[in-house]
């Protein structure tokens, strides 16, 4: 891959976006995100993915120069739909994905981050959807995901003014989980990832599926699906191991079976 690279340690894949100077999202980079998910979906050595950017930014947005190569509205719609599909796959991916955001996550960069399950941010990072400043609107589901995190009123303010908020504010408004000084960001993100990687892959997958139900299904449909999933997970070897480890007051060894 040209713009993504990774290393795996303690069942955590640290994926780095490296497309200087701003890690802008091009069609190729979006496709590489999709290919990365293909690589890790059935890789038992990876239980959690951490996504972060090399250099000054997480991702400062879509590749605006690439936009000039698109000549029709239909082609723009196709481009947007592809990005939406990849980020939807990210959000429903059966293994937790954590965004570690420093510098800026703007436009498509924030849309990529919002597709992740968890967001840790640098206190001084800038997060926003500045598309209206260009006479555009978000295309990778930003207008749909942002209100779910910050509420409709705050999302409207961010969209209409095209002004970003800080990492600290992102936590206050519910867009990010925690904010750290920049030099503490990645170490704390990795600490979280390793803690999650110790959990049962079967239970993690089921928990992600239930979170997805909570976003799209009715409460009745969600609790029904939860009950069914609870029964499936309960008879797994991991559940037996977890219960036995609790009784024996030891750390469980989950194998994903």
Residues forming the active site: 111, 131
The whole-angstrom separation of Cα 211 and Cα 191 is: 23
Contact 116, 90 (CB under 8 A): yes
Strands of the 178-180 sheet, one edge to the other: 4-9, 12-17, 48-53, 97-101, 118-122, 178-180
Residue-level length of the chain: 257
Contact 46, 40 (CB under 8 A): yes
């Amino acid at each position: 891959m040209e713009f993504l690279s990774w290393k795996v340690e303690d069942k955590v894949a640290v994926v780095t976006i490296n497309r200087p100077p701003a890690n802008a999202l091009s069609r190729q980079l979006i496709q590489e995100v999709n290919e990365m998910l293909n690589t890790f979906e059935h890789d038992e050595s990876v239980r959690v993915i951490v996504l972060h950017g090399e250099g000054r930014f997480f991702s400062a947005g879509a590749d605006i120069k690439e936009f000039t190569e698109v000549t029709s509205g239909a082609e723009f719609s196709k481009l947007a739909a592809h990005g939406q599909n990849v980020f939807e796959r990210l959000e429903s991916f059966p293994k937790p994905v954590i965004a570690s955001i420093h510098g800026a996550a703007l436009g498509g960069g924030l849309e990529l981050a919002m597709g992740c399950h968890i967001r840790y941010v640098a206190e001084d990072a800038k997060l926003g959807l500045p598309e209206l400043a260009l006479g555009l609107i978000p295309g990778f589901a930003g207008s749909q995901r942002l209100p779910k995190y910050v509420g409709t009123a705050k999302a409207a303010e961010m969209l209409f003014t095209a002004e970003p908020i800080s990492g600290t504010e992102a936590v206050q408004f519910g867009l990010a989980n925690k904010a750290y000084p920049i030099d503490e960001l990645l170490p704390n993100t990795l600490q979280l990832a390793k803690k999650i990687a110790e959990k049962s892959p079967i239970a993690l997958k089921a928990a992600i599926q239930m979170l997805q139900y909570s976003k799209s299904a009715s409460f009745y449909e969600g609790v029904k699906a939860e009950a069914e999933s609870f029964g499936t997970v309960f008879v797994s070897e991991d559940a037996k191991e977890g219960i036995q480890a609790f009784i024996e007051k030891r750390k469980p060894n989950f194998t994903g079976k």
